Amino acid sequence: MTASVTEEIEVTAEDHRLARLAALAVSLMWVDAALPSPLPGVKPGLANIVTLLVLRRYGFATAAWVSGLRVVAGSLLFGSFLTPGFMLSVSGASASLLVLWLAQALPEKWFGAVSLSVLAAFFHIGAQLAVVALWWMPSVNLMPSTPVFAAAAWIGGVANGLLAERLLAKEYHAATA
Amino acid sequence: MVARSEVMSGLLYGVRSGDWFTAGLGAVLVLALAWHYWQPGAGERLLVKRGGNVFLETSLARDRDVTVNGPLGVTRIEVRNHRARVISDPGPRQLCVREGWISRSGQAAICLPNQVSVEVVGKAGGYDSLSY
């Protein structure tokens, strides 16, 4: 992310790649928003598939950039920048990235995209619930609703992980064919 | 556990042993949360009566100590961890103290000599049969 401010911002191939991947993630956010949700706040989180693919393909730093850009650009498109919803996105994405960073230590031989996706999903909803419980509604006991959110995270995490695994393999087959 | 080189087919393509472990752990977490927070039949509220009149109605979710003054003296009740019990009572036979922890809807500890009763009631507050 080096840019010279004197003349013109130099755009590297890496920047283009980041922008392309973030745009892909943002478009998946739109798909997410268009899908009917059984519960307010429960979404499949399809954009996280992009984060997983980028993590495995380009490494953690790129994944963090794509995730961050996705949250900011997405919020600008949805008109939610700096709103409470945006705070939830930021906290969820940050917690996901944190656990993904830690989960890199897991041996890839045994732990595939499903593991990463499930971990990320649980941390995502966990951070969001923590923000709501500790910051927004400290007087409301959210705990009885946690099983529902956890179940939604599990389903979304597994589904996204299976999809990401397929896409990674497809990429792998295409590259080696 | 499908090998990476295998033909791309099946829903579980590419899932490895550790993935089963992670997903299993997640499922256990979901079930544990549901079990803990949605315990079936667990009482919601505690009804303490003195001399047949409601002395106190409180949530079992909130830990607290209650002291009730009866004709014989003080009956001490404690609420801990969604359960309640009579810690001490001046009655001669200590039946309500020996009742131990009560947590299910309909369970009760009755200290008859001191005219104090402790009853767990459900969400709807089913006043079943409790009379002296």
CATH numbers and ranges of domains, chain A: 13-176 (1.10.1760.20)
Q: How confident is the model at residue A28 (pLDDT cuts 50, 70, 90)?
A: very high
Angle at A28 between CA A27 and CA A34, to 5 degrees: 95
CA dist B132 and B129 (Å) reads: 10
Percent of chain A at pLDDT > 90 equals 64
Residue-level pLDDT at A20: 93
- ipTM reported for the complex, 2 dp: 0.84
Strand order through the sheet with B45-50: B53-59, B45-50, B116-121, B108-111
Q: How confident is the model at residue B126 (pLDDT cuts 50, 70, 90)?
A: very low
Count of CB contacts below 8 A, A vs B? 82
The stretches of chain A forming alpha helices (DSSP H) are: 13-34, 47-58, 60-78, 84-103, 113-131, 146-176
Is the pLDDT score of A127 beyond 90? yes
Percent of chain B at pLDDT > 90 equals 55
- Best of A102, A158, A170 to substitute, by most chain B Cβ atoms within 10 angstroms, is A158
Residue-level pLDDT at B131: 55
- Give residue-wise pLDDT tens across range A59-115: 999 999 999 999 999 999 989 899 888 999 999 999 999 999 999 999 989 999 999
B 7-36 residues with CB below 8 A of A? 8, 11-19, 21-23, 26-27, 29-30, 33-34
Q: How confident is the model at residue A126 (pLDDT cuts 50, 70, 90)?
A: very high
CA distances to A3, A13, A14, A16, A133 from A8, rounded to whole Å, are 8, 16, 17, 16, 46
What length does chain B have? 132
pLDDT, mean of residues B42-59: 86
Residue B18: which of A111, A147, A162 has the nearest Cβ?
A111
pLDDT, mean of residues A48-59: 93
Percent of chain A at pLDDT > 70 equals 94
Is the pLDDT score of B2 beyond 50? no
For chain B, give every domain's residue range: 1-38, 45-121
- Best of B2, B6, B16 to substitute, by most chain A Cβ atoms within 10 angstroms, is B16
Assess if CATH 2.60.320.10 describes domain B45-121.
yes
pLDDT, mean of residues B52-77: 91
CA dist B68 and B114 (Å) reads: 9
H-helix or E-strand spanning residue B83 = strand B83-88
Residue B13: which of A147, A157, A166 has the nearest Cβ?
A166
